[in-house]
Amino acid sequence: MEISFGLFVLIPLFAASIVRGEGRCKQIEFLPCETDKHLAGHVFKKIDMRVDDALQNCKHWCYEQKCISYNLAQIKEDKRVCELSNTDHVEHPSDVKSLAGAEYCAIKNPCVSNPCHSKLTCERDLYSLDSFKCIDKTSCASLKSTGKNENGVYEITPVPGYSVQVYCDQVTDGGGWTVIQRRLDGSVDFYRGWKDYKQGFGNKNGEYWLGLDAIHILTNRVPNEIRVDLKDVDGIGAYAAYSAFRVESELEKYRLSLGNFQGGGAGDSFYFQNSSYFTTFDSDNDKHTKHNCAVMFKGAWWYNRCHRVSSVVVLLTNLNGQYLYGIHQLFADGINWYTWKGYNYSAKQADMKIRPIGFGSQKDDDHGDDDNQDV
């Protein structure tokens, strides 16, 4: 039996099993390592080892830590680093990279033949060499339905062949929310250019922007609703909910389509941005004839005509603005939501989150906990 991926072939060689707490034997079949290769971007643990027993020790650490594959790094003097990964070449073939002196070592994966329906993700059963489960990992809502009830970072696969790590809010208003933007403490600079906003940036456990390409994929797979949660410097929260949210492709400059305001103590400040194109300091797609709104207000957003139509000040959001922490004197700068705190207040915390329409139920505007959620 041969398992082929990329430009190289792995042949089963070594099998091991140990007794786990569930009363079943965890079975692993190790495949021969591929030289001058490593799997990049998925290491969750590194262990220093002596060169002469690095291979066997790394195998031991792998099944103890429930790894999916591992790398043996380049030899340095008499030491080698064992790198345990939480995925493999089957799930992330493009992350197998050339690296002289390294070795990539995989485990037999029954998912290599893509046995699941196109909307489901194959997940191996660590207690059987040939068993697997087909799981719906298309969104945080689907993960919630499979029992993933805790907030945290998860990997989702919204469409076949495309996976992305996201922060899931599984608590607020029934859970199932995929967080697409998160502001917490000002640790990440959000005044960035088009490429960064296209690809995404930040730390999924902290502040981040998911990326316009990813948001486009998520919101065009199925219809989504959106909820924005805000918190002031005193820890008092408010939210705004909308019945629909979709972002078009880069060819359409990530044009925004927004549904009706559904309630929330923060009020409706988003409607003016509906049908607007996304603007960054290096890609001016707003409707202002004289200025780039992203430059004027130090952010990146669906700005429409900045903050005014003719001489009339309109309702506005600027959630990717500067982190100014509370009251400030700069007109409409900062993490701004006009109907909540006006133009001269920047939220301490904010997040934008989406989920498929119909998942869960909206709480009443007056619900005590809804305007005080953690973000």
Across 58-72, 91-105, 229-243, 313-327, the highest mean pLDDT is recorded for 229-243
Written as six digits, the tokens of 327 are 């009251």
Cβ pair 70, 92 in contact under 8 A: no
CA-wise closest residue to 69 among 93, 101, 98: 93
3-state secondary structure of 364: coil
Q: b/e map of 343-371 (b: 16 or more CB within 10 Å)?
A: bbbbbbbbbbbbbbeebbebbeeeeeebb
Helix ranges (DSSP H) in the chain: 54-64, 140-145, 194-199, 212-221, 293-296, 338-341
Q: Which segment of 33-37, 65-69, 275-279, 355-359 scores lowest on mean pLDDT?
A: 65-69
pLDDT digits (tens, 9 = 90+) for 161-203: 788 999 999 999 999 999 999 999 999 999 999 999 999 999 9
In order of start, what are the domains of the chain with their CATH numbers? 34-106 (3.50.4.10), 147-356 (3.90.215.10)
CA-wise closest residue to 317 among 261, 361, 358, 372: 261
What is the predicted pLDDT for the residue at 362? Answer: 38
Q: In the chain, what percentage of residues exceed pLDDT 70?
A: 79
pLDDT digits (tens, 9 = 90+) for 123-141: 665 555 455 667 778 899 9
